[in-house]
Amino acid sequence: MRKNILVPIDGSEHALRALGEAVEMTKAFGEKIILLNVQYDLETFHTRRFFSREQIQQYEREMSEEVLSPAVEVLRKYDVEFDVKTRIGSPKKEIIAEAKEQKVRSIVMGSRGMGSVMGTVLGSVSYGVIHEAPCPVMIVPARE
Amino acid sequence: MRKNILVPIDGSEHALRALGEAVEMTKAFGEKIILLNVQYDLETFHTRRFFSREQIQQYEREMSEEVLSPAVEVLRKYDVEFDVKTRIGSPKKEIIAEAKEQKVRSIVMGSRGMGSVMGTVLGSVSYGVIHEAPCPVMIVPARE
């Protein structure tokens, strides 16, 4: 039995707009929201020359908290139950992995995120998520 | 204030699977489902040579009823409130028009319909609807 709503947060306005829709669904179902931010892995041969693994991971955590904090504020205001998660890797792959692990009811996301290519209808992350999601994906448009 | 769920029905298995998701949402929100089938307009110079406008419209209505009937049966079984609509024209355009007129909460549809091109992730109708929808669009995957 699938439940709860996964909302990927990438720091874009689109993601926050999608969050508003997710709040309504979550309230209707009496479930909770799982906020997920995916950070690219900064640990490479080059970064490791200058920083320790711990420093790099600490920086990734801080970046993720910064991106997630406006979403957390929104959810506190609406009095909705939620979990906050950070994953490191490729956004599409990690969103799908989280959806599978948590067996979520659905993924709710904006039509485009920060990494979208101008001129395409769907950002590549949204498109990729629709392609491989184990559950329904709700795409929230940018316009009113 | 948007409400109710629009479910386009094209006679495909994908559409019926999407309907199952729409039932859950509709129950959670305590609203209703609007089943919509879009029939291509058969009235052309050529068909008018052999049939009256009334005969053509009657045939379109019958085609639509046939496509909608399995969906209607599903909804009766689940005891969900619903309306049934037929529109004549291009699927994408008519789905968008209905969503705007009814100010629906969201459109719930399968990742592909009958008119989809093999090998694409999203059928052209689903993709077109996401592109122009005035509301969130939930895409329900074909697989489990």
B66-99 pLDDT, tens digit each: 999 999 999 999 989 999 999 999 999 999 999 9
* pLDDT score of B117: 53
Q: Which two tokens stand for residue A19?
A: 């969050």
Q: What's the rounded mean pLDDT across residues B45-64?
A: 91
Query: Which of B121, B130, B135, B144 best tests the A interface by mutation, with the highest count of A CBs <10 A?
Result: B130
| Sheet of B5-8, strand order | A82-88, A33-39, A5-8, A106-110, A137-140, B137-140, B106-110, B5-8, B33-39, B82-88
pLDDT band at B45 (very low <50, low <70, confident <90, very high): confident
Residues of chain B in contact with residue A135, where contact means CB-CB under 8 angstroms, are 141
Say what percent of chain B tops pLDDT 70: 92
Picking from A82, A78, A80, A85, the residue whose alpha carbon sits closest to that of residue A9 is: A85
Q: Give pLDDT tens digits for A13-50.
A: 889 999 999 999 999 999 999 999 999 988 888 888 89
CB A1 within 8 A of CB A118: no
Q: Which two tokens stand for residue B70?
A: 């399995």
* pLDDT score of B48: 87
Size of chain B, expressed as the number of residues it contains: 144
Decide: helix, strand or coil at residue B39. Answer: strand
Write the residue in A121, A140, A144 that is nearest to B136 by C-beta: A140
Residues of chain A in contact with residue B143, where contact means CB-CB under 8 angstroms, are 134
Mark yes or no for CB contact A141/B138 under 8 Å: no
> Is the pLDDT reported for residue A87 higher than 80?
yes
* pLDDT score of B74: 93
Name residues 107-136 of chain B within 8 A of A (Cβ): 108, 111, 121-122, 127, 130-131, 133-136
User: How many CA atoms are closer than 13 Å to the CA of B43, on its beta-carbon side?
Assistant: 12
Name residues 87-106 of chain A within 8 A of B (Cβ): 106
In the predicted model, what is the mean pLDDT of chain B? 90
> Is the pLDDT reported for residue B110 higher than 80?
yes
Q: Give pLDDT tens digits for A89-131.
A: 999 999 999 999 999 999 999 987 665 554 466 778 888 898 8
Pairing of strands B33-39, B5-8: parallel
Q: What's the rounded mean pLDDT across residues B40-60?
A: 90
Minimum distance, in Å, between the CA of residue A32 and any CA atom of chain B: 14
Q: Count CB neighbours of A46 within 10 A.
A: 9
Any idea which residue has 């940018």 for tokens?
A: A142
Q: Count CB neighbours of B89 within 10 A.
A: 13
The burial of B119, by beta-carbon neighbours within 10 Å (0-12 exposed, 13-18 middle, 19 or more buried), is given as exposed
Query: Which of A130, A135, A143 best tests the B interface by mutation, with the highest count of B CBs <10 A?
Result: A130
Task: State the Rg of chain B over Cα.
Answer: 15
Which position has the higher pLDDT, B18 or A119? B18
* pLDDT score of B134: 94
Q: Using alpha carbons only, what angle is made at residue A120 by residues A103 and B18, rounded to the nearest 5 degrees?
A: 35
Q: Which distant-in-sequence residues (6+ apart) come within 8 Å of B89 by Cβ? A: B38, B40, B41
* pLDDT score of A115: 57
> Is the pLDDT reported for residue B144 higher than 60?
no
The ranges assigned to domains in chain B are 5-140
Mark yes or no for CB contact A127/B136 under 8 Å: no
ipTM of the complex: 0.90
CB A130 within 8 A of CB B121: yes
pLDDT band at B13 (very low <50, low <70, confident <90, very high): confident
Minimum distance, in Å, between the CA of residue A130 and any CA atom of chain B: 7
Say what percent of chain B tops pLDDT 90: 69
Does B138 touch chain A if contact means CB atoms closer than 8 Å?
yes
Any idea which residue has 């309230």 for tokens?
A: A27
Output the CATH code of domain B5-140.
3.40.50.620
Residue type, B127: Y
* pLDDT score of A120: 60
> Is the pLDDT reported for residue A132 higher than 60?
yes
* pLDDT score of B116: 53
Residues of chain A in contact with residue B135, where contact means CB-CB under 8 angstroms, are 141
